[in-house]
Structure 1
Amino acid sequence: MKLISEKHKQTLAYPALLMGIVALIVCSLLLLMNNLTAQPIADRQREDLTKLLDQVLPSNAYDNQPLDEKYQITIEGQEFAFYRAKLEDKVSAIVLFTQSAGYSGDISLLVAISADGALSGVRVLSHTETPGLGDKIELAKSDWILDFNGLSLSNPDKTGWAVKKDGGQFDAFTGATITPRAVVKCIYATLGQFQNNKDFFLQTDKAATLP
């Protein structure tokens, strides 16, 4: 005896039921694949981020696992994610994600700032700047980004925080001044945000919140 008669197959309910079963199977397969791949992807992302942190933070500057110390801060309506590096249970540095508008799109940066306000290191995470011109902000293409190491809000002074074309101390790229200008401006602004919210950034209480 057939479970579904030909008469029932011809009703409007049957196609809908069949589509529902197919959709359920597809959703189940997608969920299974997501569960199988989610952890390996997360592990790879953590591995890549660890390598970046190793580039901007000296190994003797912290004794915790900064990736386990992730926080959020809202400054002037914009949210920033950052990590706290600690040494002997005191915050020794923070690593902040930020971005700036470049020539052809957003430039995403990873900025490490020591507790004393000096830059520990800066790296470009992603950008869409012109190959051969603006892409010199990448460490793989030039060492320009290393010029920020050790600098702070007062070193150089405000006038120095600009490309040489604008009277500052940072080199620009031939045919691509907008790109380095955007990066310099973004890093200087980030240092200012750190200074203005220093008490929060350097708190060790995981439950700390902005006033």
Structure 2
Amino acid sequence: MVTPALALLHTSPVHVPVFEELRDEDHPGVALRHLVHEELLARARAEGSDAVAGAVQELLQRAAADGASAVLCTCSTIGGVAESAAAAVGVPVLRVDRPMAAAAVAAGRSVAVVATVASTLGPTVALVEEEAARAGHPVDVTTVLVDGAWECFTAGDHEGYVDRIVAAVDALDGVDAVLLAQASMASAADRTTLRAPVLSSPRLGLRAAVDRCGAGVTS
């Protein structure tokens, strides 16, 4: 049995098949290990992302000890906490939304961050501003919290979830790029009619993480 090269830290099991499919399409042969911990998001929403910092670091260290050569955090709410723990973990730790944020900054000055969970907005805006400063491109960031979408998600109504996201995105005007802040929102990107690019994180984030792994392709 091949030791997994890339570990993925999720806060919902719905992400597992999404990243498995992307791996099969773009990175066949790369071994993935999925770590699903729903309680991290629940606690971060209730107490703030710093409240889960210790638990996240412990999970990341365990993943590295089990053989992962990199870890990708697929939850935008705790992505910053995970990324900041990299020095203590000893392997690269990436947040899934950073490549998406960089792409949005490159697209233009006006960036809209769309989320279905309020706790995701602050970390994602901060990330966009960080990438803008790194690129030397000032941005104007607006935020949209999609009303009623998260309730659909928790009830297992995926179509209702996506429909609400699409409606919110299509109502935007005068933006150069739209970020779908959570990995669970990705399927809405292909359904929107907005002329500006609508960016989602899973494919870009997985590509960046595989690049950092270096090893771990099965023979």
Structures share fold, TM-score greater than 0.5: no
**Rg bigger for which structure?**
1
With the length of structure 1 as denominator, give the TM-score of the two structures.
Answer: 0.31
- Between 1 and 2, higher relative CO (CA 8 Å, sep ≥ 6) is seen in 2
Q: Quick check: which one's strand share is greater?
A: 1
Normalized per residue, which structure has more helix?
A: 2
